[in-house]
Chain A
């Protein structure tokens, strides 16, 4: 599965596509509109991402209302990539297990730019904010190193305007 991200400043100029899988997000407190389209085959757009992970979270069947988009601009090194993957798997994941209101997490990877985007869908903005607070208060695991966990270059919060995702297709 692949994904393209299209940003606009201001209202979406075009109506939402009526086919395929799509997320339309409107920035909270900002002008940005973000359209994420998912494609079963690689699209012609050279900046398209690969969907490397798509996980159900605590409330996978709920309708998402809010979304966070974390961007690691890149180029991200292999060492950092491995460390952040492990960090999510072994530190953050277990800590957030059971945290209410979290619907789905989709990890995108752009191999040419070595750029990473993490989309998290939730039932409320409060749920996302609470998750963020929990993560920031977590200590590193004993053999983790802050030098390998630089954090995202950009963190944005969105309201979900449209969500048309079929789990069986995106994973």
Chain B
């Protein structure tokens, strides 16, 4: 809403006192920010009553551009984004915020997907709001004031953080320095880090300030008395001064001992009571109602609570009288609020309890009936004085918590549920329901530890199988020690489940299988996931089947499971076609792409990518778009279409940004590092990986696959020492890696690092372990990021490093065939170069052909380093001195190659047989071959 003056009309407060310097600082920043390409952020802090709002009112009154204002509310019933909703009232951007949580939650086979989708909805809404505000700010600037940020929810602070830096947008935030929660501290840290943020902390008044405050005719001896009695806090000092003026003693000297002579007020409650008592009854009633409603008090609220015959005009007049008395301020065209939060608290506390409870109950009824805007929670809580009132408050809290969670305001949801839990008298069933809802909200908010603790607490307090199943499923898909607790929760649920509940049992079994695998029980996953799947099949329940299929897919994600994974993928797709969750098809198609990459079935990958396009268009989900773009990028990279691949990766990242999913950054860096490496920009790839590894946001940076990828690229970039550090990390763990979807790529990359480090033992281990999969292609078995061509190529590298040239030749030869067959041009080029190097000394013709083909392809598709390598192989062969055979020795060799005996050669060349024997010995020696047959082979290839 557009700002209206909110200045309390207290006596003596017409002028701003003692704030010249901070005001000048803020004015300068505001004026500059309104025309800046990066806007500005102005933060005003200080203790309660210090004058933050007053200072901001002064600042915005002279702002050269429109001002929007919203206030955070301390009440638990305040809706998420409440300050923004107020600030945007009447503007189109407010409708965008209304879309958050408005749609039905999507049905998904994966709870994490639902959270990502909700996040994407919020991001899109935030983008729409900020685009609208930025458009409004163009040219003139726009000021958004968000007051009392210490009460703000996380969503409000998140939007504030995103708004910072927008051109022409000046964000003004006030907060109590004494009441910063973790969310606000985090937000402030982020805001203060950026350029264009100005922070001002207001200090208590000093003697000169109080002196300047005194109206004409006031004896100056009151200044030190007011300062001491009010503690220098402007609100307290002005309240005392008002009392002094009302008592008619300001013209007289203060008591010589400096004491406050009027007995009270020594706290604000008394002062508020004094001032309230001086208002006429109607205005007093308006202030009391506003103390209940907060800043959104309208004449309708007064009409609802009035005992006698009132009309809107009378209610409005009462509000305006209270404004004139300095106890209310206008907060909108027809809305009012207490002049200060401290005043509101004081008035509220001073209301008779019976009346307060009755009023809150009536307000709650009206809100729930839709007769008044707002949220009933606050009123229900304040009216919760008896069992029925408390039950109503619990219901309101649960409803509001569900709404808040739907809007991604998980912090608010948890707060509401905790508030409900704190109310006495709820039944055990209600308390366990509140507990499990809180556990789910904690997990959705990313607080795994708290979520597990709550789930455990719920499980201790109930024997209800349905609740125990929810507790067991509340936290999913995590790594680390909490999985031990999840296994315990699953065991408890399994013991409680009745015999016929196959659906519940299957879901818990699937959860237990995956959690147990994370705690070192990988070996048991195969059996446990099979049991879960068999149970789910008996139940026929789509959700149970989806859970069990996911567990099973995880269990067989290693290279030996490729056939079964294809079957699981087909079933997952079928689930969505039989009325199951629509994202089951998404996962099924992704699993098929992973398996098809591993098999080199690129035609199937292409078909699935086409289906993924259609599915993404139907679902419209950012997570689906992320997957389709990133998988297409992987397919294009495999073909050596680097520009198109990176363009797809850009689209993928843009879609992922909407979901705020940090795993996308890790996936992107893994993809781009390979693309850059193949293009010959391994230096840039290394920088990217360093940034990803050091940023602290890449999920998986502590995983061996990340070490292997980063280490290998560092070594390729010549950063041997840094690469060696990853080798040291990998060395102790490679032999014990679980055979999951990451196992094969990790072992192959580790082998290459070990080869570079001269660790023959580890190189040999990796070679032996990966050799059974020589016919496969390198891709992850569960969430592939890319396909790195044939396994045989890396086996060739490892064998060559160990000096096993025959084996290396065979692997490289296979690799060329395999990569050629699927059109994996970049990897075929690498295979050809590897083979050409190997053959350069003993089969020049074949080596030359391979290197030339590699060079041609590398030049055509833009592989700078590979081109250099291929040309180096060719140059090396040109520079290597030809074998210096004499003319007679060449004659002898030619006849040896034709299978002539020494006697036949002697006869043909008219030489003695002894002389021919000598020539043959020289030829064998110069060629470095063992016998006539090898000499014949050499001749066939080199002459």
Contact = CB atoms under 8 A, between A and B. Distances in A.
B212 to A, nearest CB: 83
A114 to B, nearest CB: 6
A74 to B, nearest CB: 7
Interface residues of A, number: 20
A145 B599 CA distance: 12
Given A75-B792, A76-B775, A78-B775, A148 B818 contact: no
Interface string A12-49: 00000000000000000000000000000000000000
Interface string B168-206: 000000000000000000000000000000000000000
B215 to A, nearest CB: 88
Interface string A94-109: 0000000000000000
B775 A147 contact: no
B642 to A, nearest CB: 26
Contacts of A153: 821
Interface in B772-809: 774-776, 792
Interface in A38-88: 73-80, 82-83
A58 to B, nearest CB: 32
A147 B567 contact: no
A150 interface: yes
Contacts of A113: 814
A122 B774 CA distance: 36
Given A83-B563, A145-B566, A148-B566, A77 B599 contact: yes
B539 interface: no
A80 B821 contact: no
A85 B562 CA distance: 17
A148 B563 contact: yes
A148 B775 CA distance: 13
A143 interface: yes
Interface in B738-787: 774-776
B776 A77 contact: yes
Contacts of A150: 599-601
A15 B604 CA distance: 46
A73 B599 contact: no
A78 B598 CA distance: 13
Contacts of B399: none
Nearest to A143: B567
Contact of B818 (A75, A79, A82): A75
B134 interface: no
Interface in A130-152: 143, 145-148, 150
A168 B562 CA distance: 39
B821 A147 contact: no
Contacts of B562: 79
A157 to B, nearest CB: 22
Contact of B563 (A73, A76, A82): A82
B592 interface: yes
A149 B810 CA distance: 25
A75 B774 contact: yes
A148 B792 CA distance: 19
Contacts of B848: none
B775 A145 contact: no
Contact of B599 (A82, A114, A147): A147
B731 interface: no
Interface of A: 73-80, 82-83, 112-114, 143, 145-148, 150, 153
Interface of B: 562-563, 566-567, 570, 592, 595-596, 599-601, 603-604, 774-776, 792, 810, 814, 817-818, 821
29 contacts: A73-B821, A74-B814, A75-B814, A75-B818, A76-B775, A77-B599, A78-B775, A79-B562, A79-B563, A80-B599, A80-B775, A82-B563, A83-B563, A113-B814, A143-B567, A143-B570, A145-B566, A145-B567, A145-B570, A146-B601, A146-B603, A146-B604, A147-B566, A147-B592, A147-B596, A147-B601, A147-B604, A150-B600, A150-B601
